[in-house]
Structure 1
Amino acid sequence: MKLLLIEDDEVLADQLLGNLKKEGYQADVSYDGEDGLYRSVEFTYDLVIIDLGLPKLSGIEIIKKLRADNHKFPILILTARSSWQDKVKGLSAGADDYLVKPFQFEELVARIQAMLRRAGGYASSELHQGPIKLNMETQEVLVNGEVVNLTAFEHKLMEYFMLHPQKVTSKVTLADYLYEDDTDPDSNVIEVLVARLRQKIDPDNTIKPIETLRGRGYRFCIKD
């Protein structure tokens, strides 16, 4: 999963960024509202974490602009403000949940996982698509009840497909999702990664879960 953290407290932001990466998330950080809004619009994220009290552009303004432009990814508010009015303003602007500082990192992770599950239409940490199951907490993947061993990048790709069924996704979007901003993998790298994932989860070519759409990308779709 790829996250964006918009937080002007650089010490806190860098600490959270490091911990999120240790949890297996790919995460970027912005230290002000203008850069945060730019990144939210120009790059692909599964969830955005926004502090309300930001320089240059407030968290509320960012949320309003994103929702007005029909960006539907989950938004989690971080705020040091304790008044219920600030929380209501954030939720009314379009945020999905909030955390009041100070908070335990474990609570942040739990909120992120819950929001990602809801966004994907799941009530539990286990994702199901046909005979394929993926547990977001244990990171275990099973096909027809058998454990499938995936590399870190293969697992990221599998998780993306499971959370975005039926969605047509370009190679550029997948590359941006899988790799850091300073890398520019050739499209062949994505093709090889998809081919390896296909071979591992569908060695007999019976499920055919990943459809290639020429000139458009891929779609994860398991037909009945």
Structure 2
Amino acid sequence: MLEYLYFIIELLALLTLAVQYKKLEKTQYIYFLPYLLLIVCYEAGSIYNLFNVNGSNEWITNVIITIEFLFYSCFLVNVLNQKLRRRLFTIVAVTFLFTVIDVAFIQGFWKLATIAILLQYIVLITLVCMFFYQLMNQAGEQLTLIRLPNFWVNTGLLFFCLAEFLFFAAFTYMTASKNYHYYLLWYIISNVANLILYSCLSISFLCFSKSRKLFHS
């Protein structure tokens, strides 16, 4: 049931972006268009089990989460202090390289690459925290937070990444211990995090035209 609900929220985020397209086309927010199209196609395919191979779709989950990591990490690095960008892009590149190694040689392509996924979410959480730290340092500039698209994107990402990190950490433990008693709880938390993320994205697209203060920081 939750899959259908957050699939609808994803569609609404995509439609909101389409409506706001003219206001977004000269910023990096325009890259959300192909990204959200990909996510919507992935979710639709998952609902109808189009990606199942031998009864599992873990391979496509590895691919999508890696694309998600690359997209959001590059987005976040570009809204952080320019002096830090080279180092941060290096961290992103190293994390991606480790993901390739994990998928190719450690956990395998057909199994969920939980080690790499946990590392990816740690990097994303760190980048989000850096954004909020940067935002706090600009508090004296009388910023109206609810009008800042970047604030909403990062707020959604913070909830999403924390929940996903806990979900995959719990999933790893449950798989190792063969104890799945709490799977439903973590599954619900993960889906609620998706609802929060895509709702925040929709809000960010709607308030985009009201402030561009942090887009080129």
- TM norm structure 2: 0.28
User: Greater relative contact order (Cα 8 A, min sep 6): structure 1 or 2?
Assistant: 2
Q: Which has the higher helix share?
A: 2
Q: Which has the higher strand share?
A: 1
